[in-house]
Structure 1
């Protein structure tokens, strides 16, 4: 067992994160032993767009929160009830914390576990309103219900060779895949993906993996659009003074697609000449415009129940001006909520290990040190076409 020191990335208020000394994790839940948990030495932990919402001050996240829900690590201590994992195992941690025992977990709905958050269904590491769990943008972290939650990589050396890809199994690759799959993407589909951030790019790769004929990605950031184009996506620049259906028609010859995926969420902005103006329902409404009658819309983009920086009082409570009548008239279906990572992560691991997908290249992974995390947050907030992966112990770099 290593010495009991630890450091992590801490939210200090809007626009401000610091790397600070934090408590070394213990196998405990409050005053109770956590015999089903493990302690991990963090091998890699990623900065997520969801983290950025908090750091911008657009949620009710408390100051002092240790951030980070995308975690890959090496087990250095196991609780007495852990049966199927051992010290030295290299594992991926789903960002959903799930007990494995409640009704929802037994139905595979691990994103809305009923036992790990007293406030509401669902929990995550280092995230607002998600149960108060300590985040994993740190050197060490505790993971509960380890046998149920953790995905063990079958070969350590092989895993380390592909760690830049495998680190994305904790969240954005399954989340992007979930968005595409729940929208109904399949062989020959045409797909519109709103947002070319890391989740949008992961959704685009996933749509290709699912057999889509044409994947169109829309954004207002030229660098991110170029990143999408680099692996075969069609792109549309939403700063243009044209409607999204018109832009899609320029690509496909028709103004509609089979499936739509919203990878933007509640900080959406207007299209066209007013693209600096926030309009939180614009992507949802656009999806109903461009998705064909009978088609599906996957919504992995984040929508919150409390947004102190929203444009109006209704949006501050998560009430948006959604044109539901159009969706109803076109018989759309919508799939929202956290991705249940365990539904997909083993299969996506196999796709990585067997060279069926190069997700790290698609989202432009850049490895940084723990001390560089504040700069990573700042660059990401400025729109860098990069997925920042934090390497707390220099293991990935080595």
Structure 2
């Protein structure tokens, strides 16, 4: 009998590699003829996974983690027409049916048919439909013809697998934040957060032609990583305000566009800053010019048991929205609809228009090294950990 191993959430701060069931082409008791089974080539640890592992969501013990997946098709259902055995594919983290109104309008992050409790679903994530995650050796993907992006030249793609593995989430997510904020050639941009999504967003801003990209964080190694590919940086441990530090770079205390790549675990400023979940949103309105835009790919949740206030535990934050209204800002929130961007970004990678693995400092690790990767990432490592379950990614 075929076996399968995966990284499983146990309790706050603890994940383990465990034996799990080999995937079936089934949704509960119902045959999933539109699905495929993948041999996982690469699967990444995401900051969104870290929120769960820190105990900052209502994720249940035993959840198989992982929503950033690249794999080989090894089995397919009878209704799958366009994906073939042996295809190398990128899996958008959004699970989408391709049939509902939102999918037909390219809003695949809020598909109406794949989650009984709310619009939108993802692999291995709390409240996102109960789908089994892909930090594993094998995984089932439904609605395969619609969801999967075939990487057309398998040999060439494997040579760039460290870059292409990022198509499942963080590169489209960072790019989405930049696009929805309004970044265009010649723009000045502030990116809050130098984790992998923030760095992917900064690289995307360069791809979109921004003149100056400023990245803010509190971890020196992450700021150094941002500088390694041409970003300016601000150190949020300093007492100087964010506006003052931006003025030192640009000569004025504002930017055209801001992207929040931090989310609900944001801290205030200064060396001894404590958690203030609305900090980034309020800063964004303060330092974005009148008429500018704010993209918010950073995660905000409706249930946060680790929050410091009762309001924040249900996602209610003290946001100074009147400032944004007065300055005619536009805001864009929510999951990235990966399929809107992943094909074009694949071509950008294959034609050397973006070196995303270098920008986010990919480190390839084994499945058994996954728990240590989680621990190192939680300490602020300036790396993007890519899990290599079968030794195929390098």
Per the shorter chain, which TM-score range?
Answer: over 0.9
**Counterparts of 1:69 and 1:116 in 2: how far apart (Å)?**
15
Equivalent position of 2:370 in the other structure: 373
Equivalent position of 2:136 in the other structure: 138
Equivalent position of 2:5 in the other structure: 7
Equivalent position of 2:306 in the other structure: 309
* One of 198, 215, 225 as aligned partner of 1:217: 215
**Counterparts of 1:243 and 1:237 in 2: how far apart (Å)?**
10
**Counterparts of 1:88 and 1:118 in 2: how far apart (Å)?**
32
TM-score w.r.t. length of structure 1: 0.99
* One of 43, 46, 50 as aligned partner of 1:45: 43
User: Shift in Å at residue 255 of structure 1?
Assistant: 0.4
Equivalent position of 1:91 in the other structure: 89
User: Shift in Å at residue 272 of structure 1?
Assistant: 1.7
| Equivalence map 1:172-211=2 (5 Å) | 172-211=170-209
**Corresponding position: 1:82 with 2:80:** yes
**Counterparts of 2:276 and 2:141 in 1: how far apart (Å)?**
38
For structure 2, list consecutive stretches of 5 or more residues without a partner in the other structure: none
Instruction: Give the match's secondary structure for 2:368.
Output: helix
**Corresponding position: 1:395 with 2:359:** no
**Counterparts of 1:127 and 1:392 in 2: how far apart (Å)?**
20
User: Shift in Å at residue 4 of structure 1?
Assistant: 1.4
Equivalent position of 2:319 in the other structure: 322
User: Shift in Å at residue 396 of structure 1?
Assistant: 1.1
**Counterparts of 1:83 and 1:294 in 2: how far apart (Å)?**
47
For structure 1, list consecutive stretches of 5 or more residues without a partner in the other structure: none
* One of 360, 364, 368 as aligned partner of 1:363: 360
Runs of at least 4 residues of structure 1 off by over 2 A?
Answer: none
* One of 329, 334, 338 as aligned partner of 2:335: 338
Equivalent position of 2:71 in the other structure: 73
* One of 114, 121, 125 as aligned partner of 1:127: 125
| Equivalence map 1:21-36=2 (5 Å) | 21-36=19-34
User: Shift in Å at residue 273 of structure 1?
Assistant: 3.8
**Counterparts of 1:134 and 1:111 in 2: how far apart (Å)?**
17
Equivalent position of 2:381 in the other structure: 384
TM-score w.r.t. length of structure 2: 1.00
User: Shift in Å at residue 142 of structure 1?
Assistant: 0.1
Equivalent position of 1:349 in the other structure: 346
Equivalent position of 1:101 in the other structure: 99
**Counterparts of 1:386 and 1:270 in 2: how far apart (Å)?**
23
**Corresponding position: 1:299 with 2:328:** no
Equivalent position of 1:59 in the other structure: 57
In the TM superposition, what whole-angstrom CA distance separates every residue of 1:133-183 from its partner, at most 9, and x where no partner exists? 000000000000000000000100000000000000000000000000100
Instruction: Give the match's secondary structure for 1:326.
Output: helix
Instruction: Give the match's secondary structure for 1:121.
Output: coil
User: Shift in Å at residue 274 of structure 1?
Assistant: 3.3
**Counterparts of 1:30 and 1:273 in 2: how far apart (Å)?**
50
User: Shift in Å at residue 257 of structure 1?
Assistant: 0.3
**Corresponding position: 1:167 with 2:165:** yes
